[in-house]
Amino acid sequence: MTRKLIFFDIDGTLVDHEKKIPPSTQQAIEQLKAAGHELVIATGRGPFMLKPISEQLNIESYVSFNGSYVVYNGEVVYSHSINPDRLAELTQITLNNNHPLVYMTPEGMRCSTHETAYLEDAHEPLKKKLPPMEPDYYVGKDIYQCLLYCKQEDEGCYKENFSELGFIRWHLFGSDILPPGGSKAKGIHALVERSGFDRENIYAFGDGLNDLEMMQYVYHSVAMGNAPDEVKQAARYVTKDVTEDGIMYGLRMLGLLKE
């Protein structure tokens, strides 16, 4: 079989709703690697957050921060950060509105404030402790993604005043903020150009709204059974739920693994 380049989202794709890798997924990844295919993680998480999963699966290449920071075989091949002046403006408005803003670098993340009633509720799905509070963390650093904690109806003012930035809502009280033009598709394109794979040999699995551009860019795109309808409609194929061995089922469906 011709060698393939396969991208996998993490949450709801490689890991289940309890943030555990299903045994069938672990087995599928090992079989793909044994067959000589090249595997890449494509996630909204930062490098510091995906390390345990990448080590467990022995995957060294990743498209992180929803495409803003890309590493191929240990080498940074693409990076795109948020304009620091605009980030300073955004910070001031969020503080005035009492909306926490989390700044994310490849090494870690810090929060502008903890003063809100729903920060812990929104952060809980990440299965991580709240980041330390450090209001000036962004100063002098490249920030590749932010997390904004506010109600959806309060997000409009940010979208209006910072229309060049990307906003992807992933929780009732939480959204990702991306640099201009940021998307997993952008990061995947940079990695594909470096890797030299032909488009017909590229596959991708995902389940979230931040996977929409990836589903549209990758010809052999697969939406998980637990994905919302919008993502399923954007994908070429749909597999089973992550809790129903969706990765293994999808790979067999595509003929990348045998029964």
pLDDT in the model for residue 78: 97
**Residue ranges per domain, the chain?**
5-79+182-253, 84-178
Strands 38-42 and 69-72: unpaired
Tell me which H or E stretch contains 101.
strand 101-104
Length of the chain counted residue by residue: 259
C-beta separation of 99 from 111 below 8 A: no
Alpha-carbon separation of residue 73 from 38, 70, 77, 220 (angstroms):
10, 10, 10, 22
Nearest to 37 by CA among 244, 241, 204: 204
Q: pLDDT at position 62, please?
A: 98
Q: State the pairing for strand pair 38-42/5-8.
A: parallel
CATH of span 84-178: 3.30.1240.10
Catalytic residues: 9
Model pTM score:
0.91
Domains 5-79+182-253 and 84-178 share a fold: no
Q: Which CATH architecture has domain 5-79+182-253?
A: 3-Layer(aba) Sandwich (3.40)
Taking the chain (259 residues) in runs of 10, the rounded mean pLDDT of each run is 94 94 98 97 94 94 97 96 97 93 95 74 67 93 95 93 93 90 96 94 96 96 97 98 98 94
**246: how many CB neighbours lie within 10 A of its CB?**
28
